[in-house]
Amino acid sequence: MSSQREVRCRCGRWMWAPPGAGAIQCSTCHTVTQLHSLVDALRGAHRMIYGLQQLRRQYQQQQQPPQMMMAQRSPPQMMVAQRSPPQMMVQLPPPQMMMAQLSPPPPPRLLEALPSPFGKKRAVLCGVNYRGKSYSLKGCISDAKSMRCFLVQHMGFPVESILMLTEDEACPQKIPTKRNMRKAMRWLVEGNKARDSLFFHYSGHGAQQKDYDGDEIDGQDEALIPLDHETEGKIIDDEINEILVRPLVHGAKLHAVIDACNSGTVLDLPFVCRMERNGSYDWEYQGLGRIYKGTDGGGAFCFSACDDDEASGYTPVFTGKNAGAMTYSFINAVKTAGPAPTYGQLLNLMCSAILEAQSRLTYTDSDESSEPLLTSSEKFNIYATKFAL
Protein backbone atom coordinates (compact mmCIF):
# COMPACT_ATOMS: atom_id res chain seq x y z
CA MET A 1 0.00 0.00 0.00
CA SER A 2 2.87 2.32 0.72
CA SER A 3 4.05 2.14 -2.92
CA GLN A 4 0.67 3.32 -4.19
CA ARG A 5 -0.11 6.97 -4.92
CA GLU A 6 -3.24 8.80 -3.93
CA VAL A 7 -4.70 10.79 -6.86
CA ARG A 8 -7.66 13.15 -6.82
CA CYS A 9 -10.03 13.24 -9.79
CA ARG A 10 -11.40 16.55 -10.98
CA CYS A 11 -14.84 15.48 -9.73
CA GLY A 12 -13.38 15.43 -6.20
CA ARG A 13 -13.09 11.69 -5.66
CA TRP A 14 -9.78 10.32 -4.26
CA MET A 15 -8.32 7.19 -5.87
CA TRP A 16 -5.34 4.89 -5.24
CA ALA A 17 -3.08 4.45 -8.27
CA PRO A 18 -1.09 1.17 -8.47
CA PRO A 19 2.69 1.36 -8.91
CA GLY A 20 3.83 2.03 -12.50
CA ALA A 21 0.35 2.97 -13.73
CA GLY A 22 0.32 5.62 -16.47
CA ALA A 23 -3.37 6.49 -16.05
CA ILE A 24 -6.35 5.75 -13.81
CA GLN A 25 -10.11 5.99 -14.46
CA CYS A 26 -12.55 7.36 -11.93
CA SER A 27 -15.34 4.96 -11.02
CA THR A 28 -17.73 7.83 -10.37
CA CYS A 29 -17.38 10.16 -13.39
CA HIS A 30 -15.29 7.79 -15.57
CA THR A 31 -12.71 10.54 -16.21
CA VAL A 32 -9.24 9.24 -17.12
CA THR A 33 -6.41 11.00 -15.26
CA GLN A 34 -2.96 10.83 -16.84
CA LEU A 35 -0.39 10.18 -14.11
CA HIS A 36 2.75 11.02 -16.06
CA SER A 37 1.64 14.71 -16.24
CA LEU A 38 1.95 14.93 -12.47
CA VAL A 39 5.45 13.55 -12.62
CA ASP A 40 6.41 16.06 -15.30
CA ALA A 41 4.96 18.88 -13.25
CA LEU A 42 6.97 17.84 -10.20
CA ARG A 43 10.13 17.60 -12.27
CA GLY A 44 9.48 21.03 -13.77
CA ALA A 45 8.97 22.54 -10.34
CA HIS A 46 12.21 20.97 -9.17
CA ARG A 47 14.08 22.42 -12.16
CA MET A 48 12.63 25.87 -11.50
CA ILE A 49 13.68 25.76 -7.84
CA TYR A 50 17.18 24.70 -8.83
CA GLY A 51 17.40 27.50 -11.42
CA LEU A 52 16.28 30.11 -8.89
CA GLN A 53 18.88 28.77 -6.47
CA GLN A 54 21.57 29.29 -9.10
CA LEU A 55 20.37 32.85 -9.82
CA ARG A 56 20.42 33.67 -6.11
CA ARG A 57 23.97 32.37 -5.80
CA GLN A 58 25.10 34.48 -8.77
CA TYR A 59 23.38 37.57 -7.37
CA GLN A 60 25.09 37.16 -3.99
CA GLN A 61 28.47 36.77 -5.65
CA GLN A 62 27.96 39.97 -7.66
CA GLN A 63 27.08 41.93 -4.52
CA GLN A 64 30.26 40.93 -2.61
CA PRO A 65 33.68 42.54 -3.15
CA PRO A 66 36.23 40.18 -4.78
CA GLN A 67 38.40 39.93 -1.67
CA MET A 68 35.41 39.06 0.51
CA MET A 69 34.37 36.35 -1.92
CA MET A 70 37.86 34.82 -1.75
CA ALA A 71 37.89 35.00 2.05
CA GLN A 72 34.49 33.35 2.41
CA ARG A 73 34.97 30.63 -0.18
CA SER A 74 34.85 27.23 1.48
CA PRO A 75 37.20 24.31 0.70
CA PRO A 76 35.80 21.84 -1.86
CA GLN A 77 35.10 19.16 0.72
CA MET A 78 33.19 21.62 2.92
CA MET A 79 31.14 22.85 -0.05
CA VAL A 80 30.09 19.27 -0.77
CA ALA A 81 29.17 18.69 2.85
CA GLN A 82 27.16 21.93 3.06
CA ARG A 83 25.28 21.49 -0.18
CA SER A 84 21.54 21.12 0.44
CA PRO A 85 19.89 17.93 -0.77
CA PRO A 86 17.60 18.43 -3.79
CA GLN A 87 14.43 17.73 -1.82
CA MET A 88 15.06 20.52 0.72
CA MET A 89 13.35 23.86 0.21
CA VAL A 90 15.66 26.79 -0.49
CA GLN A 91 15.19 30.39 0.56
CA LEU A 92 14.24 32.35 -2.54
CA PRO A 93 14.94 36.04 -3.17
CA PRO A 94 12.06 38.53 -2.94
CA PRO A 95 9.47 38.35 -5.77
CA GLN A 96 10.56 41.65 -7.31
CA MET A 97 14.17 40.42 -7.41
CA MET A 98 13.08 37.16 -9.03
CA MET A 99 11.16 39.05 -11.70
CA ALA A 100 14.14 41.31 -12.38
CA GLN A 101 16.41 38.28 -12.77
CA LEU A 102 14.06 36.29 -14.98
CA SER A 103 12.88 39.18 -17.18
CA PRO A 104 15.10 40.48 -20.00
CA PRO A 105 16.75 43.85 -19.28
CA PRO A 106 14.87 46.89 -20.62
CA PRO A 107 16.27 48.59 -23.74
CA PRO A 108 18.66 51.47 -22.98
CA ARG A 109 17.11 54.94 -22.86
CA LEU A 110 19.03 57.63 -24.71
CA LEU A 111 17.96 60.64 -22.65
CA GLU A 112 15.15 61.48 -20.30
CA ALA A 113 13.16 63.90 -22.45
CA LEU A 114 11.02 65.70 -19.91
CA PRO A 115 11.42 66.21 -16.18
CA SER A 116 8.58 65.52 -13.78
CA PRO A 117 5.65 67.86 -14.51
CA PHE A 118 4.95 68.33 -10.81
CA GLY A 119 6.48 71.01 -8.59
CA LYS A 120 5.60 74.42 -7.25
CA LYS A 121 7.95 76.14 -9.69
CA ARG A 122 8.66 75.01 -13.23
CA ALA A 123 9.54 76.70 -16.51
CA VAL A 124 9.83 76.19 -20.26
CA LEU A 125 12.49 78.25 -22.04
CA CYS A 126 12.71 78.32 -25.87
CA GLY A 127 15.57 79.90 -27.80
CA VAL A 128 15.63 79.59 -31.61
CA ASN A 129 18.51 80.96 -33.71
CA TYR A 130 17.44 79.33 -37.03
CA ARG A 131 21.03 78.46 -37.88
CA GLY A 132 21.82 78.15 -41.56
CA LYS A 133 18.75 80.14 -42.63
CA SER A 134 18.72 83.51 -44.35
CA TYR A 135 16.59 84.81 -41.45
CA SER A 136 18.88 83.44 -38.70
CA LEU A 137 19.14 85.27 -35.36
CA LYS A 138 22.17 85.64 -33.13
CA GLY A 139 21.22 85.90 -29.48
CA CYS A 140 18.12 83.77 -28.85
CA ILE A 141 19.86 80.71 -27.41
CA SER A 142 21.90 83.01 -25.17
CA ASP A 143 18.65 84.62 -24.03
CA ALA A 144 17.25 81.23 -22.97
CA LYS A 145 20.44 80.38 -21.08
CA SER A 146 20.47 83.77 -19.36
CA MET A 147 16.86 83.29 -18.31
CA ARG A 148 17.65 79.86 -16.86
CA CYS A 149 20.49 81.28 -14.74
CA PHE A 150 18.20 84.08 -13.54
CA LEU A 151 15.37 81.73 -12.55
CA VAL A 152 17.69 79.35 -10.70
CA GLN A 153 19.93 81.87 -8.96
CA HIS A 154 17.44 84.63 -8.15
CA MET A 155 13.91 83.18 -8.30
CA GLY A 156 14.40 79.81 -6.59
CA PHE A 157 13.44 77.59 -9.54
CA PRO A 158 14.94 74.08 -9.28
CA VAL A 159 17.19 73.49 -12.26
CA GLU A 160 15.62 70.05 -12.78
CA SER A 161 12.19 71.74 -13.17
CA ILE A 162 13.31 73.89 -16.10
CA LEU A 163 12.84 72.52 -19.62
CA MET A 164 15.14 74.06 -22.23
CA LEU A 165 14.38 73.90 -25.96
CA THR A 166 17.26 75.14 -28.13
CA GLU A 167 19.25 73.98 -31.13
CA ASP A 168 22.14 73.22 -28.76
CA GLU A 169 20.28 70.42 -26.98
CA ALA A 170 21.51 66.86 -27.62
CA CYS A 171 18.11 65.25 -27.05
CA PRO A 172 15.93 65.31 -30.20
CA GLN A 173 12.85 65.98 -28.06
CA LYS A 174 14.41 69.21 -26.78
CA ILE A 175 14.92 70.79 -30.20
CA PRO A 176 12.43 73.70 -30.63
CA THR A 177 10.30 72.10 -33.32
CA LYS A 178 6.57 72.73 -33.47
CA ARG A 179 5.76 69.32 -32.01
CA ASN A 180 8.28 69.67 -29.17
CA MET A 181 7.17 73.21 -28.30
CA ARG A 182 3.54 72.09 -28.11
CA LYS A 183 4.54 69.15 -25.93
CA ALA A 184 6.61 71.40 -23.64
CA MET A 185 3.75 73.86 -23.18
CA ARG A 186 1.36 71.05 -22.25
CA TRP A 187 3.96 69.70 -19.81
CA LEU A 188 4.22 73.14 -18.17
CA VAL A 189 0.56 73.36 -17.16
CA GLU A 190 -0.10 69.65 -16.59
CA GLY A 191 -1.65 69.04 -13.18
CA ASN A 192 -1.26 72.68 -12.13
CA LYS A 193 -2.73 73.60 -8.77
CA ALA A 194 -2.99 76.47 -6.31
CA ARG A 195 0.29 78.28 -5.49
CA ASP A 196 2.07 76.88 -8.56
CA SER A 197 4.36 79.37 -10.30
CA LEU A 198 4.76 78.57 -14.00
CA PHE A 199 7.05 80.46 -16.38
CA PHE A 200 7.25 80.48 -20.19
CA HIS A 201 10.00 82.27 -22.11
CA TYR A 202 10.41 82.46 -25.87
CA SER A 203 13.15 84.20 -27.84
CA GLY A 204 12.94 83.89 -31.60
CA HIS A 205 10.92 85.07 -34.56
CA GLY A 206 7.30 86.11 -34.29
CA ALA A 207 4.79 86.80 -37.05
CA GLN A 208 1.21 87.59 -37.94
CA GLN A 209 -1.23 85.79 -40.21
CA LYS A 210 -4.85 86.21 -41.21
CA ASP A 211 -7.41 85.47 -38.51
CA TYR A 212 -9.91 82.89 -39.74
CA ASP A 213 -12.16 82.51 -36.68
CA GLY A 214 -13.09 86.15 -36.12
CA ASP A 215 -11.66 86.58 -32.61
CA GLU A 216 -9.09 89.30 -33.40
CA ILE A 217 -9.93 93.02 -33.42
CA ASP A 218 -7.22 93.72 -36.00
CA GLY A 219 -8.07 90.65 -38.10
CA GLN A 220 -4.62 89.13 -37.50
CA ASP A 221 -3.46 86.17 -35.44
CA GLU A 222 -0.06 86.43 -33.77
CA ALA A 223 2.27 83.42 -33.92
CA LEU A 224 5.55 81.94 -32.70
CA ILE A 225 7.92 80.53 -35.32
CA PRO A 226 9.33 77.07 -34.45
CA LEU A 227 12.47 75.75 -36.07
CA ASP A 228 10.58 73.60 -38.59
CA HIS A 229 7.88 76.14 -39.47
CA GLU A 230 8.64 75.88 -43.20
CA THR A 231 7.19 72.37 -43.24
CA GLU A 232 5.06 72.22 -40.06
CA GLY A 233 3.76 75.78 -39.82
CA LYS A 234 3.54 78.37 -37.05
CA ILE A 235 2.04 78.11 -33.56
CA ILE A 236 -0.73 80.70 -33.53
CA ASP A 237 -2.06 82.57 -30.51
CA ASP A 238 -5.37 80.67 -30.46
CA GLU A 239 -3.52 77.41 -29.81
CA ILE A 240 -1.11 78.98 -27.31
CA ASN A 241 -4.06 80.34 -25.33
CA GLU A 242 -5.80 76.97 -25.38
CA ILE A 243 -2.69 75.10 -24.18
CA LEU A 244 -1.11 77.54 -21.71
CA VAL A 245 -3.86 79.83 -20.43
CA ARG A 246 -7.21 78.10 -20.19
CA PRO A 247 -6.07 75.13 -18.01
CA LEU A 248 -4.81 77.41 -15.19
CA VAL A 249 -6.79 76.66 -12.04
CA HIS A 250 -7.57 78.99 -9.15
CA GLY A 251 -4.41 80.01 -7.29
CA ALA A 252 -2.00 79.00 -10.06
CA LYS A 253 -0.02 81.70 -11.90
CA LEU A 254 1.65 81.78 -15.29
CA HIS A 255 4.15 84.44 -16.32
CA ALA A 256 5.40 84.65 -19.88
CA VAL A 257 8.19 86.71 -21.41
CA ILE A 258 8.03 86.80 -25.22
CA ASP A 259 11.06 88.30 -26.95
CA ALA A 260 9.83 88.34 -30.55
CA CYS A 261 8.29 90.58 -33.20
CA ASN A 262 4.48 90.94 -33.37
CA SER A 263 4.27 89.44 -29.86
CA GLY A 264 1.95 91.87 -28.08
CA THR A 265 -1.05 89.55 -27.69
CA VAL A 266 0.57 86.25 -28.65
CA LEU A 267 -1.00 84.55 -25.60
CA ASP A 268 -4.40 85.95 -26.65
CA LEU A 269 -5.04 87.28 -23.15
CA PRO A 270 -8.18 89.42 -23.00
CA PHE A 271 -6.71 92.58 -21.41
CA VAL A 272 -3.88 94.83 -22.68
CA CYS A 273 -2.25 97.42 -20.45
CA ARG A 274 -1.79 100.63 -22.49
CA MET A 275 0.77 102.75 -20.65
CA GLU A 276 1.70 106.35 -21.39
CA ARG A 277 5.19 107.81 -21.03
CA ASN A 278 4.10 109.59 -17.83
CA GLY A 279 3.21 106.26 -16.20
CA SER A 280 -0.55 106.45 -16.49
CA TYR A 281 -2.28 103.44 -17.96
CA ASP A 282 -5.58 101.98 -19.01
CA TRP A 283 -6.77 98.44 -19.67
CA GLU A 284 -7.99 97.67 -23.18
CA TYR A 285 -10.32 94.71 -23.66
CA GLN A 286 -9.35 92.51 -26.60
CA GLY A 287 -12.28 90.10 -26.53
CA LEU A 288 -14.17 89.57 -29.75
CA GLY A 289 -16.56 86.75 -30.55
CA ARG A 290 -17.82 84.02 -28.28
CA ILE A 291 -14.53 82.19 -27.62
CA TYR A 292 -13.40 82.45 -23.99
CA LYS A 293 -9.75 83.52 -23.70
CA GLY A 294 -9.36 83.56 -19.92
CA THR A 295 -8.21 80.96 -17.41
CA ASP A 296 -9.97 78.34 -15.29
CA GLY A 297 -9.61 80.61 -12.26
CA GLY A 298 -5.84 81.18 -12.27
CA GLY A 299 -3.79 84.20 -13.29
CA ALA A 300 -1.88 84.70 -16.56
CA PHE A 301 0.50 87.60 -17.26
CA CYS A 302 2.63 88.22 -20.33
CA PHE A 303 5.47 90.70 -20.91
CA SER A 304 5.94 91.06 -24.68
CA ALA A 305 8.74 92.82 -26.52
CA CYS A 306 6.42 94.97 -28.62
CA ASP A 307 2.88 95.47 -29.85
CA ASP A 308 1.23 93.21 -32.41
CA ASP A 309 2.18 95.41 -35.37
CA GLU A 310 5.72 96.22 -34.21
CA ALA A 311 9.14 94.62 -34.53
CA SER A 312 11.43 93.80 -31.65
CA GLY A 313 15.18 93.62 -31.87
CA TYR A 314 18.37 92.53 -30.21
CA THR A 315 20.98 95.02 -29.23
CA PRO A 316 24.64 94.92 -28.11
CA VAL A 317 24.17 98.10 -26.09
CA PHE A 318 23.28 96.25 -22.87
CA THR A 319 25.97 93.59 -22.69
CA GLY A 320 28.37 94.19 -25.57
CA LYS A 321 27.05 91.14 -27.40
CA ASN A 322 23.86 90.31 -29.23
CA ALA A 323 21.02 89.82 -26.78
CA GLY A 324 17.28 90.22 -26.84
CA ALA A 325 16.41 93.65 -25.49
CA MET A 326 13.24 92.32 -23.86
CA THR A 327 14.95 89.38 -22.16
CA TYR A 328 17.77 91.50 -20.79
CA SER A 329 15.56 94.37 -19.63
CA PHE A 330 13.16 92.00 -17.84
CA ILE A 331 15.96 90.25 -15.95
CA ASN A 332 17.67 93.51 -15.07
CA ALA A 333 14.42 95.16 -13.96
CA VAL A 334 13.57 92.35 -11.54
CA LYS A 335 17.11 92.38 -10.13
CA THR A 336 17.27 96.15 -9.60
CA ALA A 337 13.67 96.88 -8.56
CA GLY A 338 14.26 95.78 -4.99
CA PRO A 339 12.18 93.37 -2.93
CA ALA A 340 8.54 92.81 -3.93
CA PRO A 341 8.31 95.18 -6.91
CA THR A 342 4.96 95.92 -8.52
CA TYR A 343 4.08 95.17 -12.12
CA GLY A 344 4.00 98.91 -12.79
CA GLN A 345 7.53 99.38 -11.48
CA LEU A 346 8.87 96.56 -13.65
CA LEU A 347 7.10 97.80 -16.75
CA ASN A 348 8.44 101.33 -16.27
CA LEU A 349 11.97 100.09 -15.68
CA MET A 350 11.88 97.92 -18.79
CA CYS A 351 10.48 100.69 -20.96
CA SER A 352 13.05 103.19 -19.72
CA ALA A 353 15.95 100.78 -20.27
CA ILE A 354 14.90 99.85 -23.80
CA LEU A 355 14.18 103.44 -24.85
CA GLU A 356 17.55 104.56 -23.48
CA ALA A 357 19.33 101.75 -25.31
CA GLN A 358 17.50 102.49 -28.55
CA SER A 359 18.49 106.15 -28.32
CA ARG A 360 22.14 105.09 -28.55
CA LEU A 361 21.58 103.09 -31.73
CA THR A 362 21.44 104.42 -35.27
CA TYR A 363 18.05 103.99 -36.90
CA THR A 364 16.94 104.56 -40.47
CA ASP A 365 13.85 106.65 -41.18
CA SER A 366 11.76 103.48 -41.46
CA ASP A 367 12.79 102.17 -38.07
CA GLU A 368 10.46 102.67 -35.16
CA SER A 369 11.20 102.17 -31.50
CA SER A 370 9.12 99.58 -29.64
CA GLU A 371 8.22 99.30 -25.99
CA PRO A 372 7.32 96.28 -23.83
CA LEU A 373 3.66 95.44 -23.48
CA LEU A 374 1.83 93.83 -20.56
CA THR A 375 -1.24 91.66 -21.12
CA SER A 376 -3.27 89.82 -18.50
CA SER A 377 -6.17 87.43 -17.98
CA GLU A 378 -7.78 90.00 -15.63
CA LYS A 379 -7.60 93.73 -15.03
CA PHE A 380 -5.70 94.80 -11.89
CA ASN A 381 -3.92 97.76 -10.33
CA ILE A 382 -0.39 97.47 -11.70
CA TYR A 383 1.03 99.85 -9.04
CA ALA A 384 -0.53 97.99 -6.11
CA THR A 385 -0.11 94.38 -7.20
CA LYS A 386 3.22 92.79 -6.29
CA PHE A 387 5.15 90.78 -8.85
CA ALA A 388 6.36 87.39 -7.64
CA LEU A 389 7.58 84.20 -9.27
CB 153 within 8 A of CB 146: no
Is 46 an annotated catalytic residue?
A: no
Instruction: Find the helix packing angle between 325-336 and 140-154, rounded to 10°.
Output: 20
Sheet of strand 220-224: strand arrangement? 206-210, 220-224, 235-236
Three-state DSSP class for residue 383: coil
The DSSP secondary structure of 55-85, one letter per residue, reads HHHHHHHHHS-HHHHHHHPPPHHHHHHHPPP
* 26 catalytic per annotation: no
E strands, 271-384, in order? 271-275, 281-285, 299-304, 373-376
Cβ contacts of 212 within 8 Å, gap of 6 or more: 221
Quick one: CA dihedral 55, 57, 60, 61, positive or negative? negative
Q: Which of 140, 201, 205, 229 is catalytic?
A: 205
Catalytically annotated residue among 261, 273, 306, 351: 261
Q: Active-site residue numbers?
A: 205, 261
